[in-house]
Amino acid sequence: MRRTSRLAGLTASALLGTTLAACGQGDSPSRPSSATTTSSSTSTSSSTTSASSSTTSTSNSGASGAAAAAVTNFWAKLDALASNPTEPLSDLASVARDQALTQWQRNLTEMRGSEIRQVGSAIVGQPAVTPSELKDAFNVKACVDVSKVNVVDKDGKSVVSPNRLPKAAYTYRVELGNDGHFYVATDTMQAEPC
């Protein structure tokens, strides 16, 4: 399968009930488009669920916290866009750039074209943040609980695969924008159980 089809298929696995192999381990967990956070961290930037991008701090721990918050904000925006097909997909640019922006605009366009939408919210666990090899960038890995997320067709019938894992970890590259905010730039779309 082409990369675009495979990546979009991760979303479609929840939406259309198909299954794809992920990391060589059985069926792929679906990629719902939603977010809340369960973090009880003392850092306010890592526990936010705002759909806006995260502003950096001058300290490295502040920047890593803002990078973690960017992933939570990314999922919150995906949640809003997957749940409400009338919201403009251009809103995704407030939390994503580059590959992540392009790929998720495609995925959400496919959802909308198939007349399917999300119901419920995923829970983004406390992300693990490590410095990237790129300047002003971090690698962020987050465990996402999708057990409370359903994806339904226009008649309200669930199209979620019965083989979907309830939790999956995803890795992102988060980069500092020229405006001082962090954005998800790369979504590897590779899932592993967590």
pTM (whole model) above 0.85: no
Looking at residue 80, its pLDDT comes to: 94
- The 3-class SS string of the chain reads CCHHHHHHHHHHHHHHCCCCECCCCCECCCCCCCCCECCCCCCHHHCCCCCCCEECCCCHHHHHHHHHHHHHHHHHHHHHHHHCCCCCHHHHHHCECHHHHHHHHHHHHHHHHCCCEEECCCEECCCEEEECCCCCEEEEEEEEECCCCEEECCCCCECCCCCCCCEEEEEEEEEECCCCEEEEEEECCCCEEC
Q: pLDDT tens for residues 42-57?
A: 333 333 333 334 443 3
Q: pLDDT tens for residues 147-156?
A: 999 999 999 9
Q: pLDDT tens for residues 69-123?
A: 999 999 999 999 999 999 999 999 999 999 999 999 999 999 999 999 999 999 9
